[in-house]
Homo-oligomer: A and B are copies of this chain.
Amino acid sequence: MIKAGIIGSTGYAGAELVRILLAHKDVEIKWYGSRSYIDQKYASVYQNMFQLVEDVCRDDNMEQLADEVDVIFTATPQGLCASLVNEEILSKTKIIDLSADFRIKDVAVYEKWYQLEHKSPQYIEESVYGLCEINREKVRGARLVANPGCYPTCSTLSIYPLLKADLIDGNTIIIDAKSGTSGAGRGAKTDNLYCEVNENIKAYGVANHRHTPEIEEQLSYAAGYPITLNFTPHLVPMNRGILVTAYASLKKEVSEEEVRAVYNQYYEKERFVRVLENNVCPQTKWVEGSNYVDVNFKIDPRTRRIIMMGAMDNLVKGAAGQAVQNMNLMFGLDEAEGLLMPPMFP
Contacts and interface: CB of A to CB of B under 8 A. Distances in A.
Question: Which of A190, A282, A285 gathers the greatest number of chain B CB atoms within 10 Å?
Answer: A285
A18 B341 CA distance: 12
Contact of A340 (B23, B171, B283, B300): B23
Interface string A192-236: 111111111111101100000000000000000000111010101
B51 A346 contact: no
A180 B228 CA distance: 32
A178 B234 contact: yes
Nearest to A190: B188
A308 to B, nearest CB: 10
Interface in A32-76: 46-52
Counted per complex, copies of this chain come to 4
Contacts of A307: 203, 206-207, 230, 232
A251 interface: no
A95 to B, nearest CB: 25
Contact of A238 (B15, B237, B281, B282): B237
A152 B270 CA distance: 40
A243 B193 contact: no
B239 A195 contact: yes
Interface residues of A, number: 84
Contacts of A48: 285-288, 290, 342-345
A47 B280 contact: yes
A207 B300 CA distance: 6
Contacts of A276: 47, 50
Contacts of A197: 194
Contacts of A204: 281
A194 B228 contact: no
Contacts of A194: 181, 192-194, 196-198, 237, 239
A50 B286 contact: yes
Interface of A: 12, 15, 18-19, 22-23, 46-52, 171, 174, 176, 178, 180-182, 186, 188-190, 192-204, 206-207, 228-230, 232, 234, 236-241, 243, 245, 247, 274, 276-277, 280-290, 294, 298-300, 302-303, 305, 307, 309, 311, 340-346
